């Protein structure tokens, strides 16, 4: 059989196997993975809700630059995890309905990963059967199955083996085209929106080329991949520049402290799960311990199970005699050891590294398990290669290999087949009853649902799917996006500094004990200031100004809505301001009785506004989109301050009757414009310079690469023609 035929059959086998495993998502009715997590469901509240917003934005011909439904407004594209510019996302979520696109994307990513591992092994000169063993083991390994809930993380990580393929080719010969290919792959990882994936991949690929440099005494490939990574930065500038701006406005500016950066580390005892995946417990059954018990251990971050047969083969690789074709086993032994030292984080002798840049930019050292697991799979494939090429009893050896492949697939699919919670998409997308009682045109906040969820999750897992309808009914962030409701909170990996000031005060002012919650006067005041008109909760709440409006029984719990129609509207006019210079001054002023939400405001620069006991002007929101607001103001008196209770963030611009005007930070986290006397049309629109300049840099860099590659191509063609012409004249070159 020809090489291309064998490779085609292997690739088709991987695709078919993956599709059969995930066919339940499509038939007999479309389903979604809604597996619960600690406090919520990452699959539902993070991954699907983000892709839902992406799908709606692309359908309108926009990028999801600003999400007005979470956190009082949140820069979705800049935060990155939505993957706005990742090529598969742009295609799937633009041309398919969101459920189909989401599930097809999931299957595509898993298949892409398996095919990438297969081609990676083939590039290392392995036979198609050992490479197929590696590819199928990879797609059903713990690192993939455990992260099916994290469609914000998975896209970047599944490109890892493809970058390794390109790095191997770069190690063989450093050319402009190969550098460009690695750069494009890195750029797609940047666009996928999970920088840690790019960091892990760069570490893995860089280690491979350093290993080659040490073996062959050639430094050119190392310089080549460094050049490729540098080139990927302007290629992905449309994502990276806004993300850098976001980082500088987040609470994680400058990186995490060593405690946070190393918190989710791989504990040594979790090595047992490579032998038996549920040795420490099964989250589905509620037998896996709370992550605080193992100092931050999370099952789905620490699961790298590859099957007992594959694990045995990986161990055997250390005892096999090396051949010239299998020198790469030394590299995988090295990468296995280094990945283990890094993934153990705080437990590692190298723990101090997580205080240094760039390691302190990321959390969850456990994610180095991706390199660890892929190294194990590669070692097992090398052992399979030796068996397949065995000269002694070749027929028996090859039968053992085929049997091992079948047993591994059976073992892994049996282990993971019913691990995740699947729910009919139509049922979960239906509008929750509780939304009927949430006050329109105001925000709401969800209080206490995480505690109620954890009480069930930690005790019984997700064996009974109906219980977790509570997750949907509580409309916790960011699932509220699906029904176009505005939640005051946001569920994100990084949080903005300005909102965090007030949110921290609110959180401290809410004390939960058993089935009751007490909201302090200051917290209630800040909720009103933030236009929070409703509190959704499974608890009994005592909050000044809020009273119970409705209750809804849902799956053994009662969800109630507490309403305050006197919460400050999203748009308001004030004529009395307090000038504050520091955060401390602002907090102190917020505590004073003189500060009255909707009547007074805090500003960070002196304003020439006359104080008044009451507002005489009116402001009405006449139109809105995700990225624009149009407000009509009638102001018969002196200048007033128009306050929009949305998040203040760079990139928001304003006009008064079409004339540009400055937007001021108000009340620490909100936006304001000084409105002169008269009737005016005020417009707010989100047009961040970081996106605009980033897009132009990305386009220009892609064009430059195309020109360079085209020039190199025509230069090669010219050299071939000269060579052929010389041979035609009998010359020897």
For tokens 């809804």, name the residue.
Answer: 552
Cα–Cα dist 374/162, whole Å: 12
Whether residue 731 is predicted with pLDDT greater than 60 in this model: the reply is: no
Q: What is the pLDDT of residue 514?
A: 85
Q: Is 12 exposed, middle or buried (0-12, 13-18, 19+ CB in 10 A)?
A: exposed
Cis amide prior to 478 (ω within 30 degrees)? yes
Q: DSSP code of 321?
A: P
Sorting pLDDT into bands at 50, 70 and 90, what band is 709? confident
Q: What is the helix (H) or strand (E) element at residue 433, kind and residue range?
A: none
Q: What is the helix (H) or strand (E) element at residue 422, kind and residue range?
A: strand 422-424
Cα–Cα dist 203/215, whole Å: 18
Q: What is the pLDDT of residue 392?
A: 73
Cα–Cα dist 543/525, whole Å: 10
Q: What is the pLDDT of residue 646?
A: 98
φ, ψ of residue 620 to 5 degrees: the values are: -135, 130
Whether residue 191 is predicted with pLDDT greater than 70 in this model: the reply is: yes
Residue positions counted in the chain: 733
Residue 287, number of CB atoms within 10 A of its CB: 14
For 30, 112, 114, 149, 422, the CA distances from 107, given in Å and listed in that order, are 14, 8, 11, 12, 15
Residue 559, number of CB atoms within 10 A of its CB: 26
Which segment, 76-85, 211-220, 316-325, 711-720, is predicted with the most confidence on average?
Answer: 76-85
Cβ-proximal residues to 391 (8 Å cutoff; 6+ apart), any chain:
none
3-class SS letters over 36-61: CCCCCCHHHHHHHHHHHHHHHHHHCC
Cα–Cα dist 121/114, whole Å: 11
Q: DSSP code of 440?
A: T
For tokens 């310089």, name the residue.
Answer: 223
Cα–Cα dist 138/453, whole Å: 32
Q: Is 260 exposed, middle or buried (0-12, 13-18, 19+ CB in 10 A)?
A: middle
Cβ atoms of 444 and 535 closer than 8 Å: yes
The pairing of strands 510-513 and 516-519 is antiparallel
Cα–Cα dist 635/639, whole Å: 8
For tokens 């087949």, name the residue.
Answer: 417
Q: What is the pLDDT of residue 185?
A: 96
Locate 374 and state its tokens.
């892929």
What is the dihedral angle through the alpha carbons of 571, 577, 581, 582, rounded to the nearest 10 degrees?
A: -60
Q: What is the pLDDT of residue 730?
A: 54
- pLDDT tens digits, residue range 35-77? 999 889 999 999 999 999 999 999 999 999 999 999 999 999 9
Q: What is the mean pLDDT of residues 568-577?
A: 93
Q: Is 662 exposed, middle or buried (0-12, 13-18, 19+ CB in 10 A)?
A: exposed
Q: What is the mean pLDDT of residues 220-228?
A: 94
Residue 517, number of CB atoms within 10 A of its CB: 21
Cα–Cα dist 196/256, whole Å: 13
Whether residue 732 is predicted with pLDDT greater than 50 in this model: the reply is: no
Whether residue 28 is predicted with pLDDT greater than 60 in this model: the reply is: yes
- pLDDT tens digits, residue range 82-123? 999 999 999 999 999 999 999 999 999 999 999 999 999 999
Sorting pLDDT into bands at 50, 70 and 90, what band is 454? confident
Average pLDDT, the chain: 92
The pairing of strands 600-603 and 576-579 is parallel
Q: What is the mean pLDDT of residues 304-333?
A: 86
Sorting pLDDT into bands at 50, 70 and 90, what band is 724? low
Q: What is the pLDDT of residue 139?
A: 97
Q: What is the pLDDT of residue 733?
A: 42
For tokens 């003189």, name the residue.
Answer: 594
Q: What is the mean pLDDT of residues 208-225?
A: 90
3-class SS letters over 161-184: HHHHHHHHHHHHCCCHHHHHHHHH
Q: What is the pLDDT of residue 325?
A: 52
- pLDDT tens digits, residue range 631-683? 999 998 888 999 999 999 999 999 999 999 999 999 999 999 999 999 999 99
- Report residue 12 CA to chain centroid gap: 29
Cβ-proximal residues to 159 (8 Å cutoff; 6+ apart), any chain:
112, 116, 185, 188, 189, 192, 197, 201
The pairing of strands 547-554 and 557-563 is antiparallel
- pLDDT tens digits, residue range 265-284? 999 999 999 999 999 999 99
For tokens 């406090």, name the residue.
Answer: 39
Whether residue 183 is predicted with pLDDT greater than 60 in this model: the reply is: yes
Q: Report helix, strand or coil for 368.
A: helix
Locate 341 and state its tokens.
């030292």
Q: What is the mean pLDDT of residues 199-224?
A: 92
Cα–Cα dist 435/398, whole Å: 61
First to last CA, the chain: 37
Which of 432, 435, 259, 269 minimizes the C-alpha distance to 355? 259
Q: DSSP code of 27?
A: S
Q: What is the helix (H) or strand (E) element at residue 552, kind and residue range?
A: strand 547-554
Q: What is the pLDDT of residue 493?
A: 86
For 22, 362, 418, the CA distances from 253, given in Å and listed in that order, are 40, 12, 40
Q: Could you please report the per-residue DSSP string of 594-623?
A: T--BTTEEEESS-------SS---EEEEEE
Cβ atoms of 212 and 166 closer than 8 Å: no
Cα–Cα dist 135/45, whole Å: 31
Cα–Cα dist 221/692, whole Å: 34
Q: What is the pLDDT of residue 452?
A: 86
Give domain limits for the chain: 3-33+75-422, 435-563, 571-687
Residue 219, number of CB atoms within 10 A of its CB: 13
Q: What is the mean pLDDT of residues 240-244?
A: 97
Sorting pLDDT into bands at 50, 70 and 90, what band is 716? low
Which of 250, 231, 131 minimizes the C-alpha distance to 187? 231
Sorting pLDDT into bands at 50, 70 and 90, what band is 712? confident
- pLDDT tens digits, residue range 473-516? 899 999 999 999 999 999 998 899 999 999 999 999 999 998 89
Cα–Cα dist 252/265, whole Å: 19
Cα–Cα dist 72/389, whole Å: 62
Higher pLDDT, residue 511 or 727? 511
Q: What is the mean pLDDT of residues 1-6?
A: 74
Phi-psi region of 194 (alpha: psi -120 to 50; beta: other; left: phi over 0): beta
Cα–Cα dist 455/461, whole Å: 10
3-class SS letters over 254-288: CCCCHHHHCCCCCCHHHHHHHCCCCCCCCHHHCCC
- Give the CA radius of gyration of the chain: 29
């Amino acid at each position: 059989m020809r090489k291309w035929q064998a490779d085609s059959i292997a690739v088709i086998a991987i695709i078919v196997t993956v599709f059969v495993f995930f066919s339940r998502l499509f038939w007999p009715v479309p389903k979604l993975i809604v597996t619960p997590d600690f406090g919520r469901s990452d699959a539902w509240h993070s991954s699907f809700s983000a892709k839902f917003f992406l799908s709606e934005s692309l359908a309108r011909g926009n990028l999801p630059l600003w999400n007005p439904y979470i956190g009082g407004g949140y820069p979705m594209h800049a935060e990155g995890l939505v993957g706005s510019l990742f090529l598969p996302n742009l295609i799937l979520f633009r041309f398919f309905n969101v459920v189909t696109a989401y599930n097809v994307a999931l299957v595509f990513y898993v298949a892409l990963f398996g095919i990438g591992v297969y081609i990676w092994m083939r590039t290392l000169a392995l036979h198609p059967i050992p490479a197929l063993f590696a590819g199928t083991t990879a797609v059903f390994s713990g690192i993939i199955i455990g992260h099916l809930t994290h469609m914000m993380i998975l896209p970047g990580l599944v490109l890892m083996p493809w970058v390794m393929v390109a790095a191997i080719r770069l190690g063989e010969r450093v050319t402009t085209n190969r550098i460009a290919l690695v750069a494009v792959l890195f750029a797609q990882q940047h666009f996928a929106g999970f920088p840690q994936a790019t960091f892990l991949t760069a570490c893995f690929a860089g280690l491979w080329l350093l290993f080659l440099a040490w073996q062959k005494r050639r430094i050119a490939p190392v310089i080549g991949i460094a050049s490729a990574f540098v080139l990927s930065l302007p290629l992905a500038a449309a994502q990276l520049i806004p993300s850098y701006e976001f980082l500088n406005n987040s609470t994680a500016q400058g990186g995490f402290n060593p405690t946070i950066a190393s918190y989710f580390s791989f504990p040594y005892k979790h090595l047992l799960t490579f032998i038996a995946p549920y040795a420490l417990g099964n989250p589905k059954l509620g037998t896996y311990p709370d992550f605080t018990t193992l100092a931050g251990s999370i099952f789905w971050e620490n699961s790298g199970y590859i099957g007992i047969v594959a694990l045995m083969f990986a161990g055997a690789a250390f005892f096999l005699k090396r051949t010239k074709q299998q020198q790469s086993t030394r590299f995988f032994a090295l990468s296995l050891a280094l990945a283990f030292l890094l993934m153990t984080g705080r437990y590692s002798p190298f723990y101090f590294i997580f205080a240094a840049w760039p390691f302190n930019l990321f959390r969850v050292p456990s994610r180095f398990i991706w390199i660890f697991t892929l190294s194990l799979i590669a070692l097992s494939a090398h052992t399979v290669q030796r068996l397949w090429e065995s000269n002694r009893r070749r027929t028996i050896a090859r039968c053992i290999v085929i049997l091992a492949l079948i047993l591994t697939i059976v073992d892994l699919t049996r282990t993971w087949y019913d691990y995740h919670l699947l729910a009919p998409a139509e049922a979960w997308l239906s509008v929750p009853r509780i939304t009927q009682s949430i006050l329109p045109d105001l925000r709401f906040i969800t209080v206490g649902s995480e505690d109620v969820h954890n009480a069930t999750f930690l005790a019984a897992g997700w064996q009974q799917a109906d219980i977790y309808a509570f997750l949907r009914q509580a409309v916790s962030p960011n699932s509220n996006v699906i029904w176009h409701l505005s939640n005051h909170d946001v569920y994100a990996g990084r949080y903005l500094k300005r909102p965090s000031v007030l949110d921290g005060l609110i959180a401290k002012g809410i004390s939960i004990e058993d089935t009751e919650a007490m909201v302090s006067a200051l917290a209630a005041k800040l909720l009103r200031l933030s236009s929070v008109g409703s509190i959704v909760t499974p608890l009994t709440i005592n909050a000044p100004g809020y009273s119970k409006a409705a209750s809804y029984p849902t799956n053994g719990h009662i969800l109630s809505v507490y309403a305050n129609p006197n919460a400050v509207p999203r748009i308001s006019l004030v004529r009395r301001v307090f000038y504050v210079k520091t955060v401390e001054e602002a907090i102190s002023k917020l505590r004073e009785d003189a500060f009255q939400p909707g009547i007074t405001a805090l500003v960070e620069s002196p304003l020439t506004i006359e104080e008044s006991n009451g507002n005489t002007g009116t402001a009405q929101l006449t139109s809105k989109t995700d990225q624009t607001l149009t407000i009509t103001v009638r102001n018969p008196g002196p200048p007033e301050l128009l306050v929009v209770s949305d998040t203040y963030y760079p990139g928001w611009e304003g006009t008064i009757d079409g004339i540009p005007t400055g937007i001021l930070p108000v009340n620490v986290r909100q936006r304001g414009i000084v409105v002169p006397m008269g009737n005016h049309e005020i417009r707010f629109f989100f047009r961040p310079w970081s996106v605009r300049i980033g897009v132009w840099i990305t386009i220009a860099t892609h064009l430059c690469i195309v020109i360079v590659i085209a020039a190199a191509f025509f230069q090669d063609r010219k050299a071939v023609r000269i060579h052929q012409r010389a041979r035609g004249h009998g010359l020897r070159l």
